[in-house]
Each structure stands twice: as C-alpha cells, then as structure tokens.
Amino acid sequence: MKSNTITYGILRAIGILAGILLLLYFLYAIRSVLTYIVVAAVISLIGRPIIRFLRRRLKFKNGLAVGFTMLIIFGVLFGVMAMFIPLIAEQGQNLSLLNLDSLKDDLSSLFNQINTYFSDRNIDLFKTLESMDLGSTFSFGAIPNLLNGVLGALGSLSIGLFSVIFITFFLLKDSALLHQGIMTFVKDNNEYRATQSFNKIKDLLSRYFLGLLLQILVLFILYTIILLVFGIENAIVIAFLCALLNLIPYVGPLIGGVIMMVLSMSSNLGADFQAVILPTTIKVMVCYLIAQLIDNFISQPFIFSNSVKSHPLEIFLIIIIAGLLFGVVGMIVAIPVYTALKVIAKEFVPDIKIVQKLTKDL
C-alpha cells in the first residue's frame, strides 16, 4: 500500500511537471499571438477613458464610441508614421542627386578638423580607430540576409498590425471580454477579489499609459524647440524619435542623445568644426540634458505618483532589477507588471507587513 502511494505520488509529480513543460512550450510557440494580445490590451487601456468620455458626456452608442476611439488612436499612430515618409523620401532624393566628390571632400575636411582638434590635446584618433579594427567586423555577404530579414519583418508587421487592430476592436467593444477570460482560471470563491483587483489594475494602468503619452508629448515639445532654435533639419521627426526612445527607461535617453548629437553634427556638414560644429553640438547637448532633467525630476515623479501610486525610488529599483533580470524588455514592462502585482497582493494577502507598506497608497 505504501509503495503504491509512493509510486502514485511520483507519477503524479512527473505528470504535473510534464504538463507545466508542455504549457510553457505552448506559450513559447504562440508568443507572437500573446504579444498581439498584450499590445491590443495596452491600446484598449489607453482608449478606455476616451470611450467613457464619448459614452457619458457626448451620449455616443457603444459601437459608435468604439469606432470613433479606434479612428483617433490609429489615426494618430498612422499620422506619426507618415511623419517619417517625407524624411525617407527626402533622403532618397538626396542620395540620387548626391555629389559624391563634394560629400567626400566635406567628410574628409570634417574628419581632418576633428583629428586636428584631438591631436592638439595629445589624442591620436587614427591609432585609436585602427585598434578598433572596424573593417574586420563587416561582411558584404551579410547584405542579402539583411534584405531578406527586412522583407520578412515587413510581412510579420503587416500580419501583426491587422491582428492588433482586430483584437483591439473587440476588447474595446466588449470591455468584459478580457475579464471573463481571466475569470475562467479563478476559483469561484476568489472571483470577487479577482474582479476588484482586475478593475483596479485597469484604472491604474489606463492612467499610467496616458501619463506616458503626456511624458512623450512634453519631451517632444522640448526637443522640437531645441532643434528648431539651432536650425537642425527635420527637427519634428528627430524630436519625436528621441522622445519615443524615452519609453525605454535610462537606456532610451542615452540612445536619443547619441542620435541628436550625430544629427546635429551632420546638419552642419561642411562648416568649420571648431567654430561651428563643435559649439552648436555642445549647445544642443546641454539643452538636451536640461530637457532630460526636467523629465526626470518633474514629469516622471508626477506621472508615477499620480498614476501607479509608487514612490520614484521604488520605481527606480524595480526598473533596475527588471533590467538586470530580463534586459530592455524587462525595463519597459517593469512598472505595469509591478503595479499589477501590488494590486493583487493587496487584495489577496493584505495582512503581510511588507504588502501593507508597499500598497498603503493604493
């Protein structure tokens, strides 16, 4: 009897482990679908306040409110994408009409001026570049693979865009759809607390994502002013790209700063390096740093304290830990996931002291 019980326990454990592994494999296999659902859920959370406004204030019917909301959201999205089309077309035209000899002379002059500037400060730029051995890292054989990858990415993007639009429509049209799907995995005696948690999470994340849009808008305005003041070409597109990179905590602003620095230098290509290019670039980067300080010490604390009800230091530690564990993706999703876990913990384990401390403002 005892041996039968032990055997049953072992087989049961093996069965549970096999089931978990199969479930993980299944989730990995459909990861693209899960991504579409997550993106659609985020868009629906952003559109939720708009639908509420249209239905309550303007007395729109549900279907009309959903259609109008999707028109606004995806209209803004496609409008933003359309901003880059003139830039790409202009660059293509510039390449077709490019005077290669003039460009070569400008680049050679710029590089010589940069090298002279560093040589006066006892820095051998040529030796430094040679030690990097950049040529050995590039292979022309990779170009066809790159083109195939781009075409494949465009095909996947088309399928993903259609899927996201389709899922978003039904999540907005039937706000209880996602809730009902989650409730199928919850025990009957926990449904009330799960519903309370779900509604609280929806409210907090809706405010959080709207706060992020406000943050990007503020940075976009600041960057646009900076670039226009210093006469940088395509200021609006560059400003939007750099502002959008701030969605990646800590790493995004660094990438945006590099992009802004390079484009600031290239916009004055052909001018004197020490008299024009270097001073202009320094001024742009100082203004960029000021804009980042405004974002870090004014915009972000306001967003975090009024949306997810978390202290800025708490958010900082969570983002760093998520980045160390899961990389850039972890940094992006850290705050929404942490907020959801806090709400669930407050509803299901409110007696634990650390939960009480972390969720006292929820």
Query: What is the pLDDT at residue 140?
Result: 47
Q: What percent of the chain has pLDDT over 90?
A: 0
* Separation of alpha carbons 36 and 178, rounded Å: 14
pLDDT of residue 260: 85
Q: What's the confidence (pLDDT) of residue 93? A: 52
Residue 309 is given by DSSP the state -
Q: How confident is the model at residue 148 (pLDDT cuts 50, 70, 90)?
A: low
Average pLDDT, the chain: 76
Spatial contact of 9 and 31, defined as CB atoms under 8 Å apart: no
Q: Map tokens 């095909």 to a residue.
A: 155
Q: How many CA atoms lie within 13 A of 274 on its CB side?
A: 8
| Confidence class for position 214, pLDDT limits 50, 70, 90 | confident
Q: How far apart are the first and last CA of the chain?
A: 52
**Separation CA 268–CA 231 (nearest Å):** 9
**Residue spans of alpha helices (H) in the chain:** 2-29, 31-56, 62-96, 100-119, 125-132, 142-173, 176-183, 191-229, 235-244, 251-266, 278-294, 300-307, 312-348, 353-358
**Alpha carbon distance 336, 307 (integer Å):** 11
Average pLDDT of the segment spanning 45-52: 81
Chain segment 153-198, per-residue pLDDT in tens: 566 777 777 888 888 888 887 766 667 777 777 777 777 888 888 8
pLDDT of residue 98: 45
Most confidently predicted of 11-15, 71-75, 159-163, 285-289: 285-289
Q: What backbone torsions phi and psi does residue 123 show, to the nearest 5 degrees? A: -120, 120
d(CA 189, CA 138): 61
Distances 158 to 25, 78, 82, 201, 361 between C-alpha atoms, Å? 25, 13, 16, 30, 42
pTM attached to this predicted model: 0.65
Residue that has been written with the tokens 């967003």 in this structure? 303
pLDDT band at 355 (very low <50, low <70, confident <90, very high): confident
Around Cβ 247, how many Cβ atoms within 10 Å?
12
Q: What is the pLDDT of residue 276?
A: 74
For residue 242, pLDDT beyond 60: yes
